[in-house]
Amino acid sequence: MNLNYKKRIYNIINSPKFQACLPPILSQTQTNKFIKNKKIVWHTCTPKSASSSWNSFNIKVMQVKKINAKFFTSISTFGNVPHIPDSNYIVKQLSLSFNRINFSNHQHSIATDDFLQILSNNHIIICQTRPILDTIVSIINFMDEGGSKNWFSPLTHLYWDKLSHLEKIDHIVRTYLPWHVHYLQTWIAASEYYDINFIYYDDVVNNTRECFNKVYSKWNLSISNEEIIENNLILPKRKFSKGVSGTGSKLISKKTIDRIGSIVEDMDNLNLFLVDFLT
C-alpha cells in the first residue's frame, strides 16, 4: 500500500463526517478523561470580536512553525442553535489524532458545568471578547449584510429586514445582551479555578504578536516580528474598517446606553463589575 493511498484512507477515517457516524464507545467519565489528556486550545468568544482573524493567525503561525496541529470543532450542529460542546463528537474527531496540538474552532460557548468538566491543565483556554456597545453595533451591521440567522434569537432571520434601525437595536438588547452577560459571568467565575486567557478585540487587531505570545507562553511558543513580516502574517486593517473601537457609544443613544447599563448591573449578581465591559 503506497503512502498516498494510506494518507487518503487516514483522511477519510479522520474526517468529521465519518467520525460522526461512529457510535460512542466510552462512558462519560472515560470521555472526559480522554479529552482532558489531549493537548487542546479552546477558543471561545463573543461575536464580532475578531475571532475569525485570530483563528486564521493561529493556523498560519502553526504552518510557519511547522507544528503538527489539528483543527477541529466541538460543536456538532450550527445555525440557529446554541453552541454547546459535544464531548462525544470531540472524541470522534480526536480519537485518531496524534497531533502535537489540537485547536478548537472559535465557538460562542459559555462556561457551563458540562464544558468545565472536560477542561484541564493540559489545555489553553481562550475567552475572546469586545466591549458590549461595539458588539451590538457590529452585530447589527453583520445581520444587515445577510447574517441574521443566529443562536441567540432563532427566528430573527424571518423578520430582521422588516425592523427599523431603532427596533433592531432594541431587539439585540433584548435577545443578545443577556447571553453576552452570561458569557462574561461564567468565564470570569470559572477563572477562579481555571487558567483563562482573556483577550480583547483591540489587542488582537493592534497587538497580535504580543497577544499570541502571552497566550502561548504556557507552552513556550512564540513568534517574532521578523517571522511575522517575512511570512506576511500581519492582519489586514481594512477588515476592521467597520469595527473601530468606540463606535457603539457614538451610534447608540444615551437613553439606550443607560438602559443597557441598567440591564447589565441588574444581572451582575456576582458583583463582577460587568458594567466596565460596556465600552
Asked if residue 279 has pLDDT above 60, the reply is: yes
Question: Residue 85 is placed in which grid cell?
Answer: 460542546
Tell me the average pLDDT across 52-72.
Answer: 92
Where helices occur in the chain by DSSP H, the ranges are 3-13, 16-20, 28-37, 51-65, 87-94, 113-116, 132-144, 165-175, 177-190, 201-206, 208-215, 225-230, 247-251, 254-267
Tell me the average pLDDT across 156-171.
Answer: 96
* Residue pLDDT, tens place only, 259-269: 999 999 999 99
Greater confidence (104 vs 16) lies with 104
Separation of alpha carbons 259 and 231, rounded Å: 46
The CA-based diameter of the chain, rounded to the nearest angstrom, is 70
Residue-averaged pLDDT of the chain: 90
C-beta separation of 262 from 114 below 8 A: no
Task: Please provide residue 41's backbone torsions phi and psi, each rounded to the nearest 5 degrees.
Answer: -110, 115
Question: Residue 190 is placed in which grid cell?
Answer: 470559572
Residue corresponding to grid cell 458569557: 183
Q: Which band of pLDDT confidence, cut at 50, 70 and 90, is reported for residue 235? A: confident
Report in angstroms the alpha-carbon separations of 105 from 83, 112, 192, 193, 278.
11, 18, 24, 23, 26
Per-residue model confidence (pLDDT) at position 242: 59
Per-residue model confidence (pLDDT) at position 28: 87
* Residue pLDDT, tens place only, 18-55: 666 655 567 888 999 999 999 999 999 999 999 999 99
Greater confidence (244 vs 58) lies with 58
When mean pLDDT is compared across 94-103, 172-181, 219-228, 266-275, the lowest value belongs to 94-103
